[in-house]
Structure 1
Amino acid sequence: MQEIPFSPDDKALVESIMSIPAFRPLGPDRLAEVMKMVTIRDYDKREKVIVQGETDRCMFFLMHGKLSVQVDRVEVNVLEKKGSVFGEMGVIDAAPRSASVVVRRPARCLALDIGFMDRLEGRAKLAVQAFFYKMFYEILAQRLRETNEHIADLDMQKVVMENMDID
């Protein structure tokens, strides 16, 4: 893993980050402030971004690349959409990581260590917490929608298989 410095003068990098849905509401001025708490990380193929069972306080935003989400070394999901968020569950409940995330194609991620919120006070802390809680709710709502669609697909496959057995 290699860390890349953020420069507000790097227009291509700023545009790339601003195209991630979670960062769009910030605007260029606030982005520079937020990026003080974010690390830009480049990963090579087969590197682990997250290790199942470990604990940390980082959540990630995929900028580009392809990642394999694995539970007990079995792939359960693939992330390759720009702006995909992962690692947020460990941030929300501080439990050990429930999956590993392994690089399948070189990737760049934004890593946000949520520990910075511990240093904030007063209104600043409330504003930042509100921003992140809203983001978490949106992520979890989207994941629930996707899970419901997956369950519906599996139910339909089951019905089809049951009908095939009848014939």
Structure 2
Amino acid sequence: MKETANSDYSQDLLFEISQLPVFAQLHASHTEGMIGFSKLIEYLPNDAIFLEGEHDTCFYVLISGSVKITKDGVLLSNLKRGGDVFGEMILTDYSERSASAYAEKKATCLCVDMSYLKTLTLNERDIFLSVLYRNFVEVLTHRLKKTTNELVIARGEIARLKPNNNHPNIAKVIDLMKMKVV
């Protein structure tokens, strides 16, 4: 793992970070302030980014490479697109991490420490969080839709495997839902 201090960020890098979808709607001063509390971290394959059960105040943005999210050792998701956000759920209730994140291949991530909020006035904090949370809602909505489709498929498979399952359309429903999973 290799960290890059925020003071070492080039102006080009700062600009590119500010254009990521999760930050694009933030006021420039908030983006700059938040980046001041952030660091770029390069992870080698299989390096832990964070572990289930940990407590912290950071969320992450994938810059390059790929990251896998697991819970109890079960793969939940693979993130491969620059700009993908993960670990953001920690900011909704400040509880422990509900999953683990590992670099799948060499990965570079922006670790955003939300202790930045302590530097803002109450009004600035409210504005900042409303924009950031709106961006997080889009991420979580997409994930919830995907999870719902996967749940329907799993329940259908369970129903199909149960003895005495006489519902004639269950196979058709499962096949249609499989086509919708992103």
Answer yes or no: is the 8 Å Cα contact 2:22–2:85 preserved in 1: no
- Mean Cα displacement is larger for which, 129-138 or 152-161? 152-161
- Secondary structure at the residue paired with 2:81? coil
Q: Are 1:3 and 2:32 counterparts?
A: no
Alignment of 1:92-103 (within 5 A): 92-103=92-103
Q: What letter corresponds to residue 160 of structure 1 in structure 2? A: A
Contact 2:50 2:101 survives alignment (8 Å): yes
State the Cα distance separating 1:121 from its structure 2 match. 1.3
Aligned match of 1:52:
52
Distance 1:113 1:145, change over 3 A: same
Deviation at 1:156, TM superposition (A): 6.2
On the 8 A contact 1:18/1:27 being kept in 2, the answer is no
Counterpart of 1:109 in structure 2 is 109
Q: Deviations over 1:57-92 (max 9, x none)?
A: 111111111111111222222111221111111121
Whether contact under 8 Å (2:34, 2:113) holds in the other structure is no
Partner of 1:160: 171
Residue 123 (structure 1) aligns with: 123
- Counterpart-to-counterpart distance in 1, 2:173 and 2:22: 43
Q: How far does residue 17 in structure 1 lie from its aligned partner after superposition?
A: 2.4
Identify the range of structure 1 (31-40 vs 18-27) with the bigger mean alpha-carbon deviation. 18-27
* Aligned residues of 2:34 and 2:116 also touching (Cα < 8 A): no
Q: Deviations over 1:5-36 (max 9, x none)?
A: 4456442x346424521123348776434321
Q: Structure 1: which 5+ residue stretches go unaligned?
A: none
Which has the larger Rg? 2
Query: Which structure 2 residue ranges, 5 or more long, are not aligned?
Result: 161-169, 175-182
Asked if residue 69 in structure 1 is aligned to residue 69 in structure 2, the reply is: yes
| Number of corresponding residues | 162
Q: Percent identity?
A: 25
Q: CA separation in 2, counterparts of 1:126 and 1:155?
A: 40
Normalising by structure 2, report the TM-score.
0.75
Instruction: In structure 2, give the amino acid aligned to 1:121.
Output: T
Q: Tell me if structure 1 keeps the 8 A contact 2:33–2:116.
A: no
Asked if structure 1 preserves the Cα contact closer than 8 Å seen for 2:22 and 2:132, the reply is no
> Of Structure 1 and Structure 2, which has the larger fraction of its residues in strand?
1
